[in-house]
Amino acid sequence: MRMWMVDPKCMCRKHLLGEHNEIHMFIGAIKKHKKLHGYLKNNLFEPKSLWDRHANIVQEMLNRGYNHQSELEVVDISTLPDIKIDADKSLIDLITRCNSCRDHMISLDV
C-alpha cells in the first residue's frame, strides 16, 4: 500500500485505481488498529491527507468516465503523525517504474 501524492492526472489507470483502493485499505487498517509504522517511516502514507487525496483521485476518476461508488469513512487519525510525502520524488519513482504512467504523462504533455 502507498499514497503517491502526485497529480492524479499523471497516473495511468492501474495506479489511479490502485491508489484509490489503497486509501480505502488504509482506512480499514486504521479502524482495525493495525500498525502502520513501516508505511509512515518509509514515507508511503500521509494520514492527514486521506480525505483530500481521495477526493482528488475520485475527481480524476470521474473526469475519465470511471464509476465511483465508495465513500470514504471517517476514522480518528489524531494519534497519527503529520507525515508529508515528497511528491516530486514519488513522481520520479512512478514514471521510472511504470511505462504506462510515463506514456500517459507524455500524451498529456505534462
Q: Which H/E stretch holds residue 83?
A: none
Secondary structure (3-state) at 85: coil
Over the stretch 20-50, which tens digit does the pLDDT of each residue have?
999 999 999 999 999 999 999 999 999 999 9
The answer on pLDDT for 80 being more than 80 is yes
pLDDT of residue 105: 87
Residue 74: closest CA among 58, 51, 54? 51
Which stretches within the chain are classed as H helix? Answer: 13-31, 37-41, 50-63, 87-97, 99-108
Q: Can you give the pTM of this predicted structure?
A: 0.92
Mean pLDDT of 58-81: 95
- DSSP conformation class of 47: G
